[in-house]
Copies of this chain bind each other. A is one copy, B any other.
Amino acid sequence: MIGGRRPLHGRKLGDRRVRVERPHSAYFRYTGPGQLTAKATASAPTTPLGRAWASVRHVLFGRQLSNEEEAYERLPKKLALPIFSSDAISSSAYATEEILRVLVIGGASAIIFSIPVAIAIAAMLAIVSTSYRQVCRAYPSGGGAYVVARENISQIAGLIAAAALLIDYVMTVAVSTASAVAQVYSVIPQVYDYRIEIAIASIALITIGNLRGLREAGLVFASPTYMFVGLALLMIGLGFARIITGTAPDVPPPSDAVAMGTAPVTGILLVFLLLRSFAGGSVALTGVEAIANGVPAFKPPEAKNAANTMTMMAILLGVLFIGITVIADTFNVLPTTEGGPTVVAQVSAAVFGDGSILFILFQAATALILFLAVNTSFNAFPRLAAILAKDGFMPRQFSFRGDRLAFSWGIVSLAAVAGVLLVIFGGDVHALIPLYSVGVFVCFTLSQIGMVRHWNSSRDSGWWWRAIVNGGGAVLTFVVFLVVVSMKFLDGAWLVVVLVPTLVAMMLFINRQYAASARQLALRPDQVMTAPDREERVVIPISTLNRAVVQAVNVGRSITDDVRAVLVSDEPEMAEEVREAWQRQMPGVTLVVVESPYRALTGPLLAYLDVLDQAWPPDTEAPITFVVIPEYVARHWWERILYNQSTNRLRTALIGRPNTVVTQVPYRREEPALFDRTPGSEEA
């Protein structure tokens, strides 16, 4: 962006011109000797394009926030609950369906097992959330599985947890968005054809919301979650009333229902089916860890508030999940093939009446909470990525914060990867789910193993029963992890099994890179640096003689007297013309013409620099070579394709050359050539 430039005097601030008396006061506060603090004006854009872009950003993302405003961005429980638990709670919209899809293969005699399977999963939820309450209290700085596993087990365990979490967040975005769209086409079947477009548009919207910052997202995200929970509880109440009064309807199987198995399944096959349906339904547990990761976003006392929100969430999720499963089972609801209504939509149609206002409201709330569940990941993924970046396991950009205190890189990366996944899997929830729950159980297991070791080393009062809670949770979640991986391996879980070690390897690799560069760059703390005694030499690659070249030569002459211009050319006649003009107009500056019959520019120039170095007396240090490159500054971005194409390649090649520094001397159209207003001043 050329937009950084500003006029030298009387810079425009807002609408009035400021008279400059203390020059720094417009942009800085003086905060100590050699110490200034920038005001917002210091980074205000000054070009029309820059200002326009700033206005767009202001409208989309809100005004800039300074670091001090962070403290205000804290969430009270009534906002934290919908924000951090929309993911977990909303999984009740598809978990029952995943159970039924498996059991339906075993026919009517297998389907009745859906309720015990759901209860088993809810029991696991109780155990996992109890363990995570302990995480909230032990790690008020908001660690989640990564921090817990790294601190208590090992770095590698931490990275495995981090990789699994990152995958999990991406999957949350993909699955919840796909499921939300499925709720919509359960009501309006025509939407099915536009499911991908709608999914992508929703992700874009949520991305923008998150780039705007956390608190405003909270307000947006609170109402649909409460609406969903309220309506779902109403639906379950009405459903149970009809079951108790014996007026439960028998839902006629939809025309596109999945074919039901006819032979009764028993023995080992039944066990396999139950395990598979358990693995499918365990997707209900995804998102439970989000609160533990986000403890610092709670209002103080952070840990206590987070732990209580965790319990609240687990109770709500358990009630909804079991309630919906019981009704679906009693009403004989069956899953449909891709494109048909979802199980939860059939349940609400049966309870509220198909086409009734309550049915439509509930479907809308389900779709909304699912669309918004995505926000849990948009809170968690960038935070985790930023922690990893600060620890040197991801590129540093992930820890840069944008104007609105949001980690822009993480937000945008998450949206991009999830969008690609949605397109690849054609927006099909059922196809995406096998990739989903594997990572979750890896995290659960690692973080609980970590907690056991944490209690073991802390020896606080009651440490041993806390350790038992977490240890039991660890064993249980590890078993479930094995069940999920083995049952869903061919359906897609293998991909996660491959991806987690790949991500861990990448993170280790990045860390090694940063560590190596830091080591190589480190100074001994006692080293005192004084100015070195190195000669300098200036080489100026040129293609003709013009004002930009004169400017570069003058910059070169201000560095040292050892200045030479090099013309690499494949047209000898033109080179001769330049030489003739050069000798007349640039007296005292050497020009070397290098003929390049192969039309290459960079190669011959580098070779020439090598020749210069080799010609230097071998017992002295070679001088610093300043390659001074004249550039013509395009006024507009679209003009850049017209200029400096060959110098850009040259610059890139020179960056790798030892003893060489590259100096770009831009010639700007608008200003007169400031360095060459010279005709007749003294020779340097």
A residues near B (Cβ < 8 Å) are 1-6, 8-9, 11, 20, 23-24, 27-28, 31, 34-38, 40-44, 64, 66-68, 395-397, 400-403, 510, 513-514, 516-518, 520-523, 525, 527-534, 536, 545-548, 550, 553-555, 557-559, 568, 570, 579, 581, 584-588, 590-600, 602-604, 606-608, 610-611, 613-615, 621-622, 624, 626, 631-633, 639, 641-643, 645-646, 649, 651-669, 671, 674-684
Nearest chain-B residue to A636 (Cβ)? Answer: B513
- Whether A669 contacts B8 by the Cβ 8 Å rule is no
A578 to B: closest C-beta gap in Å: 12
Q: How far is the CA of A598 from the CA of B28 in the complex (A)?
A: 12
> 8 A-B contacts, Cβ less than 8 Å apart?
A28-B604, A28-B611, A38-B568, A42-B600, A403-B599, A528-B584, A624-B675, A662-B663
- Whether B598 contacts A38 by the Cβ 8 Å rule is yes
Q: Please, which residues of chain B bring their CB within 8 A of the CB of A585?
A: 523, 525, 527-529
Q: How far is the CA of A658 from the CA of B581 in the complex (A)?
A: 27
Nearest chain-B residue to A43 (Cβ)? Answer: B603
Nearest chain-B residue to A37 (Cβ)? Answer: B595
Given A547-B523, A598-B38 in contact, is the A517-B656 Cβ separation under 8 Å?
no
Q: How many copies does the complex hold?
A: 2
Given A38-B597, A546-B521 in contact, is the A655-B631 Cβ separation under 8 Å?
yes
- Whether B31 contacts A595 by the Cβ 8 Å rule is yes
- Which 10 pairs, one residue from A and one from B, show the smallest C-beta to C-beta distance? A43-B603, A4-B653, A2-B656, A23-B614, A521-B546, A43-B600, A531-B684, A27-B607, A38-B604, A42-B607
Q: Please, which residues of chain B bring their CB within 8 A of the CB of A669?
A: 516-517, 520
In-complex Cβ contact of A656 among B5, B522, B533, B646 (8 A): B5
A607 to B: closest C-beta gap in Å: 4
A133 to B: closest C-beta gap in Å: 33
Q: Please, which residues of chain B bring their CB within 8 A of the CB of A607?
A: 6, 27-28, 38, 41-43
In-complex Cβ contact of A657 among B4, B558, B646 (8 A): B4
- Whether B42 contacts A676 by the Cβ 8 Å rule is no
**Best-surrounded residue of A28, A523, A615, A669 (most CB of chain B within 10 A):** A523
Q: How far is the CA of A454 from the CA of B6 in the complex (A)?
A: 54
Nearest chain-B residue to A589 (Cβ)? Answer: B529
- Whether B666 contacts A660 by the Cβ 8 Å rule is yes
Q: How far is the CA of A602 from the CA of B568 in the complex (A)?
A: 35
Q: How far is the CA of A536 from the CA of B38 in the complex (A)?
A: 25
17 further interface pairs, Cβ-Cβ under 8 Å (given A525-B584, A531-B682): A23-B610, A27-B604, A35-B595, A40-B598, A43-B602, A396-B642, A521-B632, A529-B550, A529-B554, A530-B683, A531-B683, A532-B675, A532-B676, A534-B558, A624-B675, A656-B668, A661-B666
- Whether A527 contacts B603 by the Cβ 8 Å rule is no
Q: How far is the CA of A585 from the CA of B659 in the complex (A)?
A: 23
Q: Please, which residues of chain B bring their CB within 8 A of the CB of A36?
A: 592-595, 608
- Whether B594 contacts A37 by the Cβ 8 Å rule is yes
Given A594-B28, A597-B66, A606-B6 in contact, is the A678-B513 Cβ separation under 8 Å?
no
Q: Please, which residues of chain B bring their CB within 8 A of the CB of A521?
A: 546-548, 632, 667
Q: How far is the CA of A671 from the CA of B652 in the complex (A)?
A: 18
Given A528-B587, A678-B531 in contact, is the A657-B594 Cβ separation under 8 Å?
no
Q: How far is the CA of A598 from the CA of B599 in the complex (A)?
A: 48
Nearest chain-B residue to A23 (Cβ)? Answer: B614
A482 to B: closest C-beta gap in Å: 36
- Whether A664 contacts B667 by the Cβ 8 Å rule is no
**Best-surrounded residue of A581, A624, A639, A656 (most CB of chain B within 10 A):** A656
Q: How far is the CA of A630 from the CA of B572 in the complex (A)?
A: 38
Q: How far is the CA of A8 from the CA of B42 in the complex (A)?
A: 45
Q: How far is the CA of A403 from the CA of B599 in the complex (A)?
A: 8
A8 to B: closest C-beta gap in Å: 5
Nearest chain-B residue to A665 (Cβ)? Answer: B661
Q: How far is the CA of A55 from the CA of B283 in the complex (A)?
A: 52
A598 to B: closest C-beta gap in Å: 5
Q: How far is the CA of A651 from the CA of B610 in the complex (A)?
A: 27
In-complex Cβ contact of A533 among B602, B679, B681 (8 A): B681
Q: Please, which residues of chain B bring their CB within 8 A of the CB of A581?
A: 525
- Whether B67 contacts A513 by the Cβ 8 Å rule is no
In-complex Cβ contact of A653 among B3, B402, B525, B675 (8 A): B3
Q: Please, which residues of chain B bring their CB within 8 A of the CB of A584?
A: 525, 528
Q: How far is the CA of A677 from the CA of B5 in the complex (A)?
A: 36
- Whether B642 contacts A513 by the Cβ 8 Å rule is yes
- Whether B633 contacts A656 by the Cβ 8 Å rule is yes
